[in-house]
């Protein structure tokens, strides 16, 4: 029997399941699966991934947690009115939106919740397992696409870590598309190691940092001396408001600056601003200003202006990551998936920093997925190694 069974159904459990990214993910997956749109922006639909045994788009079943209660079909209509989704799309995929909406469970903890962390984690894990059971899913991946939370100040687990712990408990692969803490909490270190589950993150690389990941290497390869790299991001939507909180922005900016330091080999002057501009809605503008020295100290400048729709940039990557993580778990990969650094500002595991090298690593990963688990145990090193699946996976 084949390592991949395209008829089997698998789950994608979204943390922040009623947000713009999640709504675009659910609606877009349905639209592409139905042939209504080409798979623009989905790397896993390009030829190098054709034989990797990824679950088909049609096999993905969506559910998730959220603290909001706006129904997905209505959210989709709002996004269409704002030009984020094409007009007519919410109606065309109304059934799929409604199906996903029925699988969204209340998130938390909300104010007044008196349960301890362990109780909350168990309740979340039960939600995921019930979902898997109801649909007879072979496995489920948990993907955090919720609004960025402030960096935690104490020792208690922030919400993103409660959800991540629930993923572990339910035996699910985990992907953190945000800069929130998630699995990166000292209290979860042992559980992560013991679980043997594959995981990926953090913080999807969708705009300014994507550019930095190709421009930084360009300067380095050409031996040009970058003196200052400054940037400003303007965005509305929920993320704009959340990142107007300096504590939340700090988490995000750390990832942006890490890309420069890693590709340039030095940390140039300059800071990054993230401004909440509600009038821009889900549209994000990023200006970058790079002051660099050329031969004999000649001063030169590169500026970039990126105008994109955040949800439309993120959603195809979320689908990519869900498929890759699901297949990685199936193929027996364990631990941090550094090969998915292509997708992240601040990759887990071992990952090069230049986008071109990250892409090459991703293609090699596609090859390993294609070759399946046989003999994979021989591949050691920093990268995730396919091993025997953890017993707990059966439940998810």
> How many amino acids of this chain bind its own copies (CB under 8 A)?
75
Toward its own copies, which CB reaches closer, 83 or 116?
A: 83
User: What residue spans of 222-334 are helical by DSSP H?
Assistant: 237-243, 246-264, 310-330
Q: Is 295 in the site for its own copies (CB under 8 A)?
A: yes
**With contact defined as beta carbons under 8 Å apart, do 68 and 62 qualify?**
no
Peptide bond into 335 cis (omega under 30): no
At its nearest, how many Å lie between its own copies and the CB of residue 204?
12
| Contact characters 170-209, its own copies, x per CB under 8 A | ----------------------------------------
Toward its own copies, which CB reaches closer, 83 or 367?
A: 83
CA distances for 369 relative to 116, 285, 378, angstroms = 39, 36, 15
Q: Is 47 in the site for its own copies (CB under 8 A)?
A: no
Residues 115-134 close enough to bind its own copies by CB under 8 A:
none
Q: Is 262 in the site for its own copies (CB under 8 A)?
A: no
Task: Select from 303, 298, 142 the least CA-distant residue to 211.
Answer: 303
Q: Is 301 in the site for its own copies (CB under 8 A)?
A: yes
Q: Read out DSSP for 156-218?
A: SPPHHHHHHHHHHHTT-EEEE-SSS-TT-SGGGHHHHHHH--EEEESSB--SHHHHHHHHHHH
Q: Is 391 in the site for its own copies (CB under 8 A)?
A: no
Task: Select from 83, 5, 31, 18 the least CA-distant residue to 319.
Answer: 31
Sign of the torsion angle spanned by Cα atoms 238, 240, 244, 245: positive
Toward its own copies, which CB reaches closer, 180 or 209?
A: 209
At its nearest, how many Å lie between its own copies and the CB of residue 178?
18
Toward its own copies, which CB reaches closer, 66 or 288?
A: 288
Toward its own copies, which CB reaches closer, 191 or 363?
A: 363
**What is the rounded CA–CA span in Å between residue 324 and residue 121?**
25
At its nearest, how many Å lie between its own copies and the CB of residue 216?
10
Residues 315-344 close enough to bind its own copies by CB under 8 A:
315-316, 342
Q: Is 250 in the site for its own copies (CB under 8 A)?
A: no
At its nearest, how many Å lie between its own copies and the CB of residue 146?
19
**With contact defined as beta carbons under 8 Å apart, do 173 and 196 qualify?**
no
Q: Is 46 in the site for its own copies (CB under 8 A)?
A: yes
Residues 69-108 close enough to bind its own copies by CB under 8 A:
81, 83-87, 89
At its nearest, how many Å lie between its own copies and the CB of residue 184?
25
Toward its own copies, which CB reaches closer, 192 or 243?
A: 243
Sign of the torsion angle spanned by Cα atoms 24, 26, 29, 30: negative
Rg (CA), the chain: 20
Residues 207-246 close enough to bind its own copies by CB under 8 A:
210-211, 214-215, 217-218, 221-225, 227-228, 230, 232, 234
Single residue of 111, 305, 378, 380 touching its own copies by CB under 8 A? 305
User: What residue spans of 283-395 are helical by DSSP H?
Assistant: 310-330, 355-371
**What is the rounded CA–CA span in Å between residue 328 and residue 139?**
11
Q: Is 1 in the site for its own copies (CB under 8 A)?
A: no
Q: Is 275 in the site for its own copies (CB under 8 A)?
A: yes
Q: Of the ranges 127-135, 146-154, 349-357, 370-378, which one interacts with its own copies (CB under 8 A)? A: 349-357
At its nearest, how many Å lie between its own copies and the CB of residue 280?
6
Task: Select from 355, 316, 287, 370 the least CA-distant residue to 143.
Answer: 316
* Backbone phi, psi, residue 270, to 5°: 110, 150
């Amino acid at each position: 029997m084949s390592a991949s069974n395209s008829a089997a159904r698998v789950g994608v459990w979204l943390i922040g399941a009623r947000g713009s990214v999640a709504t675009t993910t659910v609606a877009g997956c349905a639209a592409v699966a139905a042939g209504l749109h080409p798979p623009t922006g989905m790397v896993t639909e390009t030829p190098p991934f054709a034989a990797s045994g990824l679950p088909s788009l049609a096999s993905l079943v969506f559910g998730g947690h959220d603290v909001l209660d706006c129904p997905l079909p209505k959210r989709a209509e709002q996004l269409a009115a704002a030009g984020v989704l094409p007009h007519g799309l919410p109606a065309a995929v109304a059934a799929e939106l409604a199906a996903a909406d029925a699988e969204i469970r209340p998130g938390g903890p909300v104010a007044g919740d008196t349960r301890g962390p362990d109780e909350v984690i168990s309740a979340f894990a039960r939600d995921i397992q019930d979902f898997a059971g109801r649909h007879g899913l072979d496995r489920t991946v948990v993907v955090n696409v919720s609004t960025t939370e402030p960096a935690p100040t104490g020792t208690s687990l922030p919400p993103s870590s409660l959800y991540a712990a629930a993923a572990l408990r339910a035996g699910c692969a985990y992907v953190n598309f945000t800069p929130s803490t998630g699995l990166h909490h000292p209290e979860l270190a042992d559980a992560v190691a013991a679980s043997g589950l594959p995981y990926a993150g953090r913080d999807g690389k969708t705009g300014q940092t994507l550019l930095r990941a190709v421009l930084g290497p360009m300067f380095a390869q050409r031996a040009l001396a970058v003196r200052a790299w400054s940037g400003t991001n303007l965005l509305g939507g929920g993320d704009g408001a959340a990142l107007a909180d300096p504590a939340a922005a700090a988490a995000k900016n750390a990832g942006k600056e890490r890309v420069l330091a890693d590709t340039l080999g030095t940390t140039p002057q300059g800071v990054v601003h993230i401004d909440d501009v509600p009038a821009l809605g889900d549209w994000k503008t990023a200006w970058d200003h790079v002051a660099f020295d050329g031969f004999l100290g000649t001063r030169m400048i590169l500026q970039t202006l990126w105008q994109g729709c955040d949800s439309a940039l993120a959603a195809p990557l979320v689908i990519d990551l869900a498929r890759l993580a699901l297949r990685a778990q199936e193929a027996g990969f364990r631990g941090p998936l550094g090969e998915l650094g292509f997708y992240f500002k601040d990759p887990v595991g071992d990952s090069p920093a230049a986008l071109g090298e990250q892409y090459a690593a991703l293609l090699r990963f596609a090859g390993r997925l294609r070759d399946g688990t046989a003999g994979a145990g021989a591949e050691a090193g920093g990268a995730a190694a396919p091993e025997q699946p953890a017993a707990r996976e059966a439940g998810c």
